[in-house]
Structure formats: C-alpha cells, structure tokens
Copies of this chain bind each other. A is one copy, B any other.
C-alpha cells in the first residue's frame, strides 16, 4: 500500500491537468506527513536515553544508593517510553493503512495526536519518581484517552469523507465493518485506561496492572498469533482471504514505515554521541593554562580514550544501520514478529549512548572498567542478535518475506549470514576474552571496535575464502550457487545498455 502511495504522489506532483487538480482539491498524499510522524516518534522513543547518560557522578561521590536509584529511575523511564511509543507508532501505522489520503484537518489532528504522545514520557517520569502517588498513572490514562479520542476523530472524519480512505476500503461493501474494526483497535487501549483512571482514584495498584496490559496487549496478541501459526499451520490466512476488501488487522506492517522509524532511531543515536563530545571534551581554558602549561595538544591528549570510544561507538551504530539496511533491502514484507524483533533490536541500539558513556569513562574511573566493558558488550550483543533473529524469522516463511537472493541457497545467502553474524560473534568473543584476560579488558574492547569495520570492508572476500575452504575440506561439494557471483565489472557488461 505504501508503494501505491508513493506512486500516487509521483502522479500528484506531476499531474497538471486541471481536472486532476479539481478532483484532488484539498486532499494530499499522506507520504510526507507519515515521514514526519515517523521521525518524531523515533526521536521521542530514543531521546529519553539522554537523561540516563547525563546523570552526573562526580569522582569523589561514591556510587551510592541515591545515585543508583536515580539511574534505575531514568533507565526505567527510557524503557517504558520506548515501549509505549512503539505501541503508539504501530497503532498509527495501522490507522494510516486505512486512511490513504489526508487534508488540512487530518494533518492538524495528526499534529494534536503527536503532541499528546510527546507528553507520555513526562507521565512516566512522574510515575517512577512518585510510585505511591496515583497522579502519575492518572495523567498517563488521561493522555492515552486523549490520543484515542483524537485517533477516533481521525477515523470518523475519514469515513465521513470516504475519498480520504484507502481505495480498497473505499470500494468495499464491508466499509462499516472496517470502521468498526479500526475503531475497536484504536479505542481498546483508551477504554482500559478509562477503567484504570477510575481505579487510580481509590485503588491505584490495579491501575498499574491495567497499564501493563495496555502496553503489552498488542505484543501478547502478536505472540499468540505466532504460536498458533507455528503449531497449527497457517490457518489464519484463508480466513482473512474470505473478506478480501475488509481491513486485515494481521497484515504485515508497511515496510517503508518500519525503515523510516528505524532510520530515525539510528540517526538520533549517532548524533547524541557528538553532543557528549562537544559538551564534555572541550577543556577549560584555565585548566589548560594551569595543568598543561598552555599546550592544548597535551590537554586533548588526555581525552584520547574518549575519542577512541567515540569512533568505536559511531562505527558500531553506523555498521548496525548498514546491516539493517542490507537486510531490509532483501525483505519483501515485514511480518508482525519481524516488527517486534526489530523494535527489540532498536531498544538496545538506543542504549548505545550508555555503552559509549561507559567506555568513555575509562579514563576517569579505571577501577571498574571490567564491568563497564561487559555492559557495553552486552548492549551491542543484544542489539545485533535481534537483527539476526529478524532474518531467522524471515527465513521461516522465506518465499513470502524475502527476495530469492537471500533465501536458502540464494547467491547472497552466505554473505547476508556473515553480515548479520559479525557483531554478535565479535561482541560475544570480546565478552569471553574479558573473562579470561580481565586485565586487558579495555584493550580487547578497543581492538574489537577497530577491527569490526575492517572486517565489514573485507567481508565479501572473507566469505568467499571461507566457502572455498569448506569446499576444499568436503572435497565432493557440488556446484555451489555462491560461484554465480560475478565481479561488479562483469556485471556492468551483463547489463543491457540503458541508453
């Protein structure tokens, strides 16, 4: 459907005939508005890691209980925000799979919806800081109800002016059914929150329970669907095919929007790193005069490990994006399970500034460097292993979800495997090495961060060598599809002349 939108937009911006403009008057392609919403939501989801990394721990101050509590509070707010924003984003994706075009009123309603979503992190901060006061949970419920009302207004408006709907639904005889379906989807959470808000006034522990239900509801229903799918065969699809024009609530997510949301997370994470460098690593003019007798180079030399940590962290974020990009180039459609795994991966990617801060703190607090290296390795491992899991899950239904090149036996299969397995292996190796050689943990970690980018550059060569080695070992290996790979130069000769 998203591709359809893009094509429509291309027609929109090209179509100059006045008749065409007349019909389109006031309605617009939703493409750019969705891109803006994706950027906004991905940044909100991730930016709450900043208070975590900016928690000031002065060297003389011990890592005491109050600091621990503050850190735990902020990490909890980050995780809850990330989770709830992804839930809101999924609902938003569903909603605009039904609403195909927008007009000014819908654009303004969407902005109102975004504004309400941005308030959710604040309610979490209140909840976590004052766990015994029901006001936080009450405000959270009010926010969710407000979001639900705005989304219900969007649904109502779009069904009132059906030319705004997705053409499939516009033509459907089951349009009323679709409306009821999508309204149910949009108002399910707010209805539970209304109950929670009422309970928060006299028995708030129950409100917390209801809130957890609201947050995890979509994920739980996804998991059960997956289990059913797995153990009872694909019973779902035919049931849905019976109603070809009604909205399919179990349809795959729009691949374009999954990509846009992920890009936003990677981009903001890469940028938060330089913010820390600029704020923390510019020496004070007085210090330079007193400690380094005016030599700025010497003063900067003291920050050496932190610059190394910056390069390493940026390379990690960049290469994880690269692996994600390579994978999604070969993904045909993203199922709900793949979407969930992607979100889990992104949550750990969002934690990378924490890994950076941990490793850049080496110079200041060398006594607990082993723990810091291990935390960093664990964050990188989980971010990359969930990426690997996306591919594994996609392989289960490979004909539907993947391009032929990366399916079992495809030309790019081994290469994709190597790309996605590189970071999990490297971080696991580094973790294991710190257990054996705990005195050299810093050196090991830096070695890993520097060597992995080079491994990526040489990956195609390495994979070929490994496959050739396997071939020699087995001796009787049959003709392997990997040999079909031709050099780029040969490719360009194969290309039909486009001129």
Contacts and interface: CB of A to CB of B under 8 A. Distances in A.
A28 B494 CA distance: 16
A170 B495 CA distance: 12
Contacts of A171: 498-499
Interface string A261-281: 001101110111111011101
Contact of A25 (B10, B107, B405): B405
Interface in A58-85: 77
B3 A491 contact: no
A165 to B, nearest CB: 10
A274 B6 contact: no
Contact of A13 (B3, B44, B263, B495): B3
A266 B495 CA distance: 42
B167 A21 contact: no
Given A266-B36, A499-B170, A460 B325 contact: no
Contacts of A403: 16, 21
Interface string A116-142: 001101100110011001010000000
A329 B7 CA distance: 15
A275 B53 CA distance: 13
A483 interface: no
Nearest to A48: B278
B271 A43 contact: yes
Nearest to A133: B296
A221 interface: no
A234 interface: no
Interface residues of A, number: 108
Given A23-B495, A111-B319, A321-B36, A285 B130 contact: yes
A460 B103 CA distance: 12
Q: How many copies does the complex hold?
A: 2
Contacts of A495: 23, 163
A350 to B, nearest CB: 13
Contact of A43 (B22, B267, B285, B326): B267
A14, A22, A39, A332, most chain B CB atoms within 10 A: A39
Given A23-B496, A111-B319, A486-B25, A43 B268 contact: yes
Contacts of A130: 285, 288, 296
Contacts of A270: 40, 114, 118
5 contacts: A13-B255, A32-B329, A36-B325, A39-B267, A122-B282
Given A111-B319, A118-B273, 12 more contacts: A6-B10, A25-B486, A26-B488, A35-B263, A40-B270, A47-B274, A104-B322, A104-B326, A115-B318, A121-B278, A130-B285, A163-B488
